[in-house]
Chains A and B, each alone.
Chain A
């Protein structure tokens, strides 16, 4: 028997945070909201089992991420995002630095980006990232190192001369 009250509390307590995390991973604000809500809907499907485990939030984050990298979902999300455009969403008070970091994240490899976000934003340790992503700890360490190096390179480029994307975002 699924317990809607515990699910609702879990949803209310975590959904904003997971959206923020997915945004950092994907750089797509509307898309992040959609995939995260889809992941929560899937979590509700199996809530009787998930609620008994220690980390349903990690489960939702992983499922949301997987949905987001699916090309089919991307197409659908773009359609949904398009329909949502102009629906009166709140404007986040994000800094120029954050916009630059997310833009740089989108330029590095997918696995490196995910590792960087899970480590520096979500606060997971190397072993926890390995568990969540299914990679070895040495692979996670390498992804973090190379991801950070690549990120620094892109941020340096942006600092010396912002491209059109960054200029538009900061406007």
Chain B
């Protein structure tokens, strides 16, 4: 039998079976589910009592022998953020926290970590008017947030004046790249890779002029970095311990300052075979094994500063921020080399720190753009704080951030078709996830 015959016969027969089926009305199914739910709850109580009775005896026996009670058996599954479809094997056995509840990293259902989850940091520290942390008081927390709004605190750091800043989350969900904040907002004192399941951090110092940008995909086993020093700019790959693995592309750019702050950017494609990075007015597609594939057409190509890749908008298109004199604009740049299209309107850029940092889409229609104007407290005048803007018919309209100070907030994720917002709830005071 030919494959297409098999397909046709199965589909026709199955459709006939489906058509003839007389399933019960949905309210009957729901009632059956509710009944199961009640039975399960009752069964859980009985099971707990049974375990308490059996476990109590066993535990007493162990204690009497002078040993330690047996360690609980846990089944920690590896996260799989690339599996965007829920599977029956994962969901029934591990559960997320109820919305709004907080737990520790031990409560993270790793098998469910993936699409819809967010990794974020928030602080209860007290920055000064310039946005820098001051010594003493408050703490920074790195936390995972599940799609229902449950929060899992992974790491907490007392305010030493040099907090870790969250720079990137590995595509496999297991690690995060951190940078220790110093006095220069564009230069980190050192970098750390935190293992989220344990909270342990391994640190490394980046070589002079090297700016780590994020993890390679799909597994996050390496770090992409831009090296800018000695008249050369290069895209490089480093190990998680900070050792150079490979130089993927390199260009002579004349006299340049060492390091590159906000103008640099590099992101890995979903399959990890290619990377897109910005340098000296160019946006370039590079093979992750090394070698330039193509220079991508961007607005004002060759002009500095460069378009900066922010994120993949879909599998073939990158969302990039392209500066112009006193302006900036988000563009969608096809990796295949086609002409870019404007994503939003040009907006004034009052300072180097006033930048659009990303965009989020809800329900396939509503688009929200983050704009940051530095990390200081929002002021009555002048650029400071962050804002969220809705993109409608080519124009941007600021949206209120409830319970925030001066509508200061930035979207950091999407949960159940709602924006997850990191908002400043006091100034100088704290930030909160809303």
Chain A interface (Cβ < 8 Å from any Cβ of B): 4, 7-8, 11-12, 15-17, 19-21, 23-24, 29, 32-33, 36-38, 40-46, 48-50, 52-56, 58-59, 62-63, 66, 89-95, 97-99, 101-102, 116-117, 120-121, 128, 131-132, 134, 148, 151-152, 155
A154 to B: closest C-beta gap in Å: 10
Known contacts: A45-B37, A151-B1. The answer to whether A90 contacts B9 by CB under 8 A is no
Collect the chain A residues with CB atoms within 8 Å of residue B3's CB. Answer: 120, 148
Known contacts: A19-B17, A36-B23, A131-B83. The answer to whether A43 contacts B33 by CB under 8 A is yes
B39 to A: closest C-beta gap in Å: 10
Chain B interface (Cβ < 8 Å from any Cβ of A): 1, 3, 6-7, 9-24, 26-27, 29-30, 32-34, 36-37, 40, 83-89, 91-92, 96, 115-116, 147-148, 416
Collect the chain B residues with CB atoms within 8 Å of residue A66's CB. Answer: 88
Leading 3 A-B pairs by shortest Cβ distance: A98-B13, A44-B33, A20-B18
Known contacts: A20-B18, A41-B32, A45-B37. The answer to whether A58 contacts B87 by CB under 8 A is yes
B87 touches A131 (CB 8 A): yes
Known contacts: A4-B30, A19-B18, A89-B20. The answer to whether A95 contacts B87 by CB under 8 A is no
For the complex, what is the distance from the CA of A32 to the CA of B86, rounded to whole Å?
22
Known contacts: A11-B29, A98-B12. The answer to whether A17 contacts B18 by CB under 8 A is yes
A135 to B: closest C-beta gap in Å: 11
Collect the chain B residues with CB atoms within 8 Å of residue A55's CB. Answer: 85-86
Main secondary structure of the interface of B (DSSP, over half): helix
Known contacts: A41-B33, A45-B37, A131-B87. The answer to whether A15 contacts B23 by CB under 8 A is yes
A7 to B: closest C-beta gap in Å: 7
Collect the chain B residues with CB atoms within 8 Å of residue A16's CB. Answer: 18-19, 21, 23
A98 touches B9 (CB 8 A): yes
Collect the chain A residues with CB atoms within 8 Å of residue B23's CB. Answer: 15-16, 19, 33, 36-37
B14 touches A20 (CB 8 A): yes
For the complex, what is the distance from the CA of A148 to the CA of B4, rounded to whole Å?
12
B16 touches A98 (CB 8 A): yes
A42 touches B36 (CB 8 A): yes
Collect the chain A residues with CB atoms within 8 Å of residue B19's CB. Answer: 16, 90, 92-93
Known contacts: A19-B18, A42-B33, A44-B33. The answer to whether A52 contacts B416 by CB under 8 A is yes
A121 touches B10 (CB 8 A): yes
A152 touches B87 (CB 8 A): no
For the complex, what is the distance from the CA of A32 to the CA of B18, rounded to whole Å?
10
A-B contact sample (15 more), CB < 8 A, given A24-B14, A62-B89: A11-B29, A15-B23, A17-B18, A19-B18, A41-B36, A42-B33, A42-B92, A53-B115, A59-B91, A63-B88, A63-B92, A98-B12, A121-B14, A134-B89, A148-B6
B352 to A: closest C-beta gap in Å: 39
